[in-house]
Structure 1
Amino acid sequence: MTPAPARLIPTSARPLLGLTVMVVEDSRFASEALRQMCLHGGARIRRADCIASARRHLAAYFPSVSIVDMGLPDGDGAELIAEIRQRCGDLAPVIATSGDPDRELPARRAGAHDFLPKPIASLGLFEQVILRHLPDSARPKGPRILRQDLPMPDRAALRDDLDHAERLCRGEPDTEMRTYLGAFVAGVARCAEDEPLARAADDLPATAGSGALRQLQALLKDRLRKETRAPV
């Protein structure tokens, strides 16, 4: 008989060791940052970029923790949070994330255990939010150092996001697509510390004319040119 694999014991240096984290995030830039934070903490990560992909993950395995972006291309993250809570109950924490602080209340109403605003302030905060919703047996013993560092940004992933958003601007996106596009770009822009781009994205859903869309597209092209010249 093959012996069962030894259970991974979390440590102060790797407090998330033994966890499987499902990250549901449509931004490659944000997803890469979350991936690096999970790996720093010792967690395994499984990624989904939409609700449909997340549902396929849930049909195949039981995540220890789910991190769900509130704005997804095929629906509202609150819908998925409610589904995960119905499936997993309190056994697996669900953490919502968004660049819009107004999304925290809908996330908690849907059943999210906690909320992480984008951009995430530090690696230590990321780990702390997850750990406080885990049972004692899944937490590291002894004192922990609250790490303030963050992973290095993935410039290639940022370029992919900017290019994707610029392509979505072409033509005449309908109201639903404008709302999604505005939220997507605002989240990416804030993670990239680009406030002019974030403000333009925030203004997009409320504007009926094409001027705001053209302005956003111009800003995306300008940032994309700068990123293309920057080293990976």
Structure 2
Amino acid sequence: MRQVEEYQAVQAIAKEVLAEIGGTLIVSDTEATIARRAQQMLADRGITETWYYDCPALVLIGTRSCLSISGRNYVPADEPLGNFNLVTIDLSPCREGIWGDCARSFYFENSHAVREPEDTEFRQGKEALAILHARLQQFAKPDMSFDDLWRFMKDEIQELRFVELDFLSNYGHTIETNLAARSYIEEGNARSLRSVNLFTFEPHIRPAEGRWGFKHEEIYYFDGKVLCVL
């Protein structure tokens, strides 16, 4: 395993791009234009590779925010953003074999992205994601299994009156050096959290009666018994 600092450097670039790209969104943008812009913003910072098939930026707009699809099959759509919409952007940068992995939801109201949305469902989604990440940090312990974490999060999502959207019904994966080696936060995975170096938590959820799919992804690791965000 490479040093945590090497992963932090790549992840920091992904976070920087996601922090800046919201301010660039315009009503005529599409998944295709946003994905190209995100890829260029990564390249401008020295990241020209991706570990996730050939998909450095998986962007979903509108009702497609509920779509769960592998990067292997992803084709960005050309429907314009308009003046009110939801955008999710999931970046998968790679530099010299070091992975980053980071996703955010963008709330597009009155023709621009806002940090504190007025729309009720947008607010519900934003709050639910924050709650789930906070509960992960409260609950996760090195000796528990990925199955334990999966069961806990499944109950938490249901308690919040949301439904999971991931097509594989998992909530994250380990950070590896190749795709096939990934282990997942999924039912039946008895592997302990302490047995891995880094893992993502990336719930993809929709309100039970809602229309939008929300994402927020971070990479986590244990420093002793303390769960840390990369």
Name the TM tier (shorter chain). Answer: under 0.3
Q: Hey, which of these two has a bigger chunk of helix by percent?
A: 1
Tell me the TM-score normalized by structure 2. Answer: 0.28
Larger radius of gyration: 1
Tell me the TM-score normalized by structure 1. Answer: 0.28
